[in-house]
Chains A and B, each alone.
Chain A
Amino acid sequence: MLMEVKNQIKVMFLSLKYNIMKQMINKVTFITNIVFMILNNASFIVQWIILFSLKDNIGGYTISQVVLLWGIASSTFGISHILFNKSFELSDLIINGKLDTFLTQPKNVFLNVISSDTSISAIGDLIYGYICLFIYGINISNFILFTIFSITGAIILASFASILGSTCFWIVKGDIIADSLVNIMISFDTYPGTIFKSTVKIILYTVIPVGFANYLPIDTMLNFNIMNLIYIFAFTALIVLFAFFIFNKGLKRYSSSNLMSSRI
């Protein structure tokens, strides 16, 4: 079992390494992708400067706290797209029958699939996340917390995307629904959770798990609370298990499928 996990991680990192090597072949494209992504994210600062010029605090957040929120959102997005990029394109793989090759390999299909590609611009997102932390004011304890929450957030985001992508095993238009809902999560994660009314908040902590991926981590970084940490870990574990469960259920259906698209 331990050996299996070790081998799986080895394959994942080899695949990450090779993907980055692949992108590095064209250095200009590689660098512009990363740099422009950082600039792209930084441009949102303008939006917030203007909003804060209209009102001192928004949803109880000061501008530096919004920067921190952006940081978490950005590094969460970055890590998930570096390590698990294909979880965001799962629907395409399922609909077009591209899982076949993975099925002939003696590895966990789910992990093998979602880690088989890397988004290069996501490196820019990850870097930007830490730039935000630096602007907010970095110290050892918030660096550690920030890193932990970026990882849990990335896992939550990738699991969420995988769960939605897996619906394509059953639903025909699943890809559009999956795309939309993942986008929603990304739209919400850069706005203070507190500007939304309580009914919406419930949704943000359940159906669209941006609460556990971003809002609660921010709260915890501002006022440390061990219980929050436990909630976040527990939720991460739950959503990961659920993602595995749904994907494996779907995979069985894929293999025993009697629907023929490009599967001959």
Chain B
Amino acid sequence: MKKYLYIYKATLIENLSYIANILLGFINFFIMIFVFVNLWQYIYSDSSQIINGYTMEQMIWYVLTTEVLWYGSKNKVLLQEISNDIKTGNIAYNINKPYNYVFYILSKHLGEITIKLILYIIVGILIGLCFIGPIQNFNFINIPFVLLTLILGVLINSILRIIISTISFWIEDSTPFHWVYDKMILILGTLFPIEMFPDFLKPIIKCTPIFVVTYGPAKLLIDFSMQNFTQIIIAQLIYLIVSILIVAFLFSKGVKKLNVNGG
């Protein structure tokens, strides 16, 4: 455990020197938020309207939260490093080192995104407060619960990305599969909450990672209830355990394949 913490810390400190890059990255974030705010303002013809149980303020806070999660946790370690390691055969050296490769990648990734995510959260809150105003009925007691689901969401997202990257063991380029995941989260998971989908799609969407990765934390932030919280946290725990098992399974399979081919 100690060595992973060390990897995490080392990456985090390294990233401190890239703060300027992170700040420049905000340009994109601002623009996406700007586009979505315009879109929702257009759809809500007057601000008192309620669509599927959401006010316009709630809707925009929802988008803000999911976009913070999207931009704040995006990183090329999970997207490229694993695939590259597999493609170049570097992974053969990595799995022989005295650490677990998956945990190594995970610590590194979390180290890369921590500062970014915190900065995005701060900026997100500032944008929200300045342009939309505070969330109605927000209670500060809920913060620890929201944070817990948020962290679990980021963690699950990371593990799912690792699963997709391990496809590189079998198909040279795993990027197309990342696109599919990207699009699922981006289109279905960030722009609108599950309630906006047609009835027959709702149960399906609830089973997808969207529910635990983006919807969960965002929903709890804008409309907290203990019932929602327990539902979400249980789903997250199930996702976490299952995804870890899948990673372990795929990795052992993949490494075996590597040995057969000699890298």
Q: Which residues of A are in contact with B by a Cβ distance under 8 Å? A: 26, 28-29, 32-33, 35-37, 39-40, 43-44, 46-47, 50-51, 53-55, 58-59, 121, 173, 176-177, 180-181, 183-184, 187-188, 191, 195-197, 200
A-B contact count (CB 8 A): 88
Contacts of B176 in A (CB 8 A): 32-33, 35-37, 40, 121
- B180 x A36 contact (CB < 8 A): yes
Q: B25, B27, B191: which has the most chain A beta carbons within 10 Å?
A: B27
**Does chain A have a CB within 8 A of B28?**
yes
Partner of B173, one of A29, A37, A187, A188: A29
**Does chain A have a CB within 8 A of B171?**
yes
- A181 x B27 contact (CB < 8 A): yes
**Does chain A have a CB within 8 A of B138?**
no
- A184 x B27 contact (CB < 8 A): yes
- A51 x B187 contact (CB < 8 A): no
- B184 x A43 contact (CB < 8 A): yes
Residue of A nearest to B191 (CB): A47
- A36 x B27 contact (CB < 8 A): no
**Does chain A have a CB within 8 A of B262?**
no
Known: A43-B183, A187-B35. A50 touches B197 (CB 8 A): yes
Q: Which residues of B are in contact with A by a Cβ distance under 8 Å? A: 20-21, 24-25, 27-28, 31-32, 34-35, 38-39, 42-43, 45, 51, 171-173, 175-177, 179-180, 182-184, 187-188, 191-192, 196-198
Known: A40-B180, A173-B21. A195 touches B196 (CB 8 A): no
In the assembled complex, 5 residue pairs joining A and B whose CB atoms fall closer than 8 Å, in A order, are: A44-B183, A47-B191, A50-B196, A180-B28, A183-B28
- A196 x B24 contact (CB < 8 A): no
- B172 x A180 contact (CB < 8 A): no
Residue of A nearest to B179 (CB): A40
Residue of B nearest to A28 (CB): B171
Beyond contacts A43-B187, A47-B191, A195-B38: 16 other A-B pairs, Cβ-Cβ < 8 A, are: A28-B172, A29-B171, A36-B179, A37-B179, A40-B179, A43-B180, A43-B184, A50-B196, A51-B39, A51-B43, A54-B43, A59-B42, A173-B24, A177-B24, A187-B32, A191-B39
